[in-house]
Structure 1
Amino acid sequence: MKTSTDELLVFVTVIDSGSITAAAEKLQQTVSGVSRALTRLEKKLDTALIRRTTRRLQLTEEGVLFLARARAILDAMEEAEQSVARRRERPSGRLRVDAASPFMLHCIAPHMQAFAALFPEIRLELTSNERIVDLLEQKVDIAIRIGALQDSTLHARALGSSKLRIVASPGYLAEAGEPRSVEALRAHRLIGFTAPEHLNRWPLRDGERDALKIEPAITASSGETIRHLALADGGVACLADFMTVADVNEKRLVPILDDILIDERQPVSAVFYQSASLAGRVQAFLDFIGTRLEL
């Protein structure tokens, strides 16, 4: 494209104002600057658009044709800007949010009816992955990540943190007894993660060490699977409060070894690529979920 939108705006404003001087005042530019822009535009088009006389400006035949197209272009640009502004005021469009299944089930899904009522024009897509996903590859707008962040190319908003606890069901403890030390815990059925390995280091004081590396009797790739195994009297597990707080409150799971438990919290963050100017729907979700999470 040879011409710029600034040159189009100058041309249209000169015609609407009736003179270069009036157009310069309206555009808050110098008269010479407006005149140079007109000359530059005609040079790029290799044709005269305006006949200049001492009394008035008159469009050439080419100028009449170009004026109509210039108006259409400027009107389309203004409409495009207004549509973006309207989206920020009234968020709309597709929003894909990804989180590990336990966090999705316990912390995201319960609030989505309220979110949909507030933002009916957002088409929400929820996906669950136990491993870290590539936002661009999976076309994810927001990913909820638990634990320390590694990818420095992403922007993040902290949503809170969730304490880790050692829990077991009343049925399991009635059968196997309640362990009251690390040594006693080693004799119990321990439920751990298939991967990553650091999730099988429990925040318990083990002598001079600040973590206990367990040897699980059974492993699972999802925290939600581990939770269900624990609820089914399957053994002892180390899980975050966000997925067990209701179970503990309703006595389906019992916290144990609190006296040697280290206060370790997993940070919860929302990560995304947008930075200075968040899309309205992304901003709407972050603001909404930030007020709903009890972490």
Structure 2
Amino acid sequence: MKVTLDELQAFATVVDSGSITAAAQQLDLTVSATSRSLARLEDKLQTTLLRRTTRRLELTEEGRSFLQSARAIIESVDSAEEQMLARREQPSGRLRIDAASPFMLHVIVPLVGGYRARFPQVELELNSNEGIIDLLERRTDVAFRIGRLKDSTLHSRLIGHSRLRVLASPAYIEAHGQPRTVKELDRHALLGFNQPESLNVWPLTAADGEPYRIAPAVCAASGETLRQLALDGAGIVCLSDFMTAQDRESGRLVQVLARQTQDVRQPIHAVYYRNTALSSRIVSFVDYLVDTLGGRGTARPAATWLEC
């Protein structure tokens, strides 16, 4: 049976206070509980640490030697607790973040400067993967995922929602015309994803009443690649507001079939494993992102694409 920290604390307090009664008062325990704790410790060590007389307690030679080790252990634990408290108040260490490249570029990267100014002791490691990764395998602390969550092993925090829109550049529309109906899209160059296939279902209704599923003329793994293709006039695309809000505000992309487009909003979650302690680093970054995008932070204006 192993020695416990409570037993070490009881032993050291008895020595420091000079009696079991005084030690019990300091530890907020009963005298009998303190006495039993000391007896268990001696039994585990199979030695006598204190000689008890009617007037005083006296350390044995073994007790004097063990007291030094006990104090070192107690001080080490106290120091570790103080360090953890300090880290909670001022997060530090490496924080590994994963997100699809569009979310990384358009949402996270613009917030890095403000976050680092507030939490300079946190070292950020930013990684982009277009598909779903294993957080443990990739040693990732927190990931941001867009769309419905399927992994039940994850804890999650909803960041907000971002609307899907069908878009094209003015140059493409000038060259190929503005589609007036969903059916007319079949005559246009449509830009889509190579995976997952669900991303090629647009928020439109086909002639048969089913959701409109495109057959891409050009497909890519990354939404950022599709955005650049659309900006270059390569075709019509369906993307989320978080990556195209500024393009629409500047007129570089315009919405197509606005009246026919259903109001579909993708949920965005911060995720981490259930068996992972929620460190102050994770909390500080997610809180900063939510506060800033929601308009409660001071690093930048509220996001024009975010729907809570």
Deviation string for 1:181-231 (max 9, x for gaps)? 011111001111111111111111224635201111111111000000000
Q: What does 1:30-109 align with in structure 2 at a 5 Å threshold?
A: 30-109=30-109
C-alpha separation in 2, matches of 1:225 and 1:209: 30
CA contact (8 A) 1:190 1:215 kept: yes
Correspondence 1:202 to 2:199: no
Deviates more, 1:42-51 or 1:102-111: 42-51
Question: Match for residue 292 of structure 2?
Answer: 292
CA contact (8 A) 1:210 1:262 kept: no
Correspondence 1:223 to 2:228: no
Shift of 1:26: 1.4
Letter in 1 for 2:114: A
Deviation string for 1:60-117 (max 9, x for gaps)? 1111111111111000000011111110000000000000000100000011011111
Correspondence 1:26 to 2:26: yes
Question: Match for residue 151 of structure 2?
Answer: 151
C-alpha separation in 2, matches of 1:7 and 1:191: 68
Shift of 1:162: 0.6
Deviates more, 1:269-278 or 1:176-185: 269-278
Correspondence 1:162 to 2:144: no
C-alpha separation in 1, matches of 2:62 and 2:233: 85
Question: Match for residue 140 of structure 1?
Answer: 140
C-alpha separation in 1, matches of 2:121 and 2:27: 37
Shift of 1:39: 1.4
CA contact (8 A) 1:192 1:219 kept: yes
Q: What does 1:129-278 align with in structure 2 at a 5 Å threshold?
A: 129-207=129-207, 209=209, 211-273=211-273, 278=278
Shift of 1:41: 1.1
Deviates more, 1:207-216 or 1:237-246: 207-216
Letter in 2 for 1:22: A
Measured on the aligned residues, the alpha-carbon RMSD in Å equals: 1.3
SS in 1 for 2:54: coil
Shift of 1:137: 0.2
CA contact (8 A) 1:201 1:212 kept: yes
Shift of 1:5: 0.8
TM-score by length of 1: 0.97
C-alpha separation in 1, matches of 2:71 and 2:261: 70
C-alpha separation in 1, matches of 2:44 and 2:150: 50
CA contact (8 A) 2:183 2:207 kept: no
C-alpha separation in 1, matches of 2:39 and 2:111: 60
Letter in 2 for 1:253: L
Letter in 1 for 2:62: E
SS in 1 for 2:204: coil
C-alpha separation in 1, matches of 2:214 and 2:49: 82
C-alpha separation in 2, matches of 1:289 and 1:226: 25
C-alpha separation in 1, matches of 2:205 and 2:198: 16
- Percent identity of the aligned residues? 54
SS in 2 for 1:258: coil
C-alpha change, 1:89 and 1:275, in structure 2 (3 Å) is farther
C-alpha change, 1:276 and 1:195, in structure 2 (3 Å) is closer
Question: Match for residue 118 of structure 2?
Answer: 118
Shift of 1:47: 1.1
C-alpha separation in 1, matches of 2:99 and 2:67: 52
Deviates more, 1:187-196 or 1:273-282: 273-282
C-alpha separation in 1, matches of 2:78 and 2:174: 71
What number of residue pairs does the alignment pair up? 295
C-alpha separation in 1, matches of 2:230 and 2:96: 31
Deviates more, 1:93-102 or 1:34-43: 34-43
Task: Extract unaligned runs of 5+ from structure 2.
Answer: 294-302
C-alpha separation in 2, matches of 1:39 and 1:182: 83
Letter in 2 for 1:263: D
CA contact (8 A) 1:102 1:243 kept: yes
CA contact (8 A) 2:153 2:274 kept: no
C-alpha separation in 2, matches of 1:161 and 1:207: 28
C-alpha separation in 2, matches of 1:274 and 1:204: 37
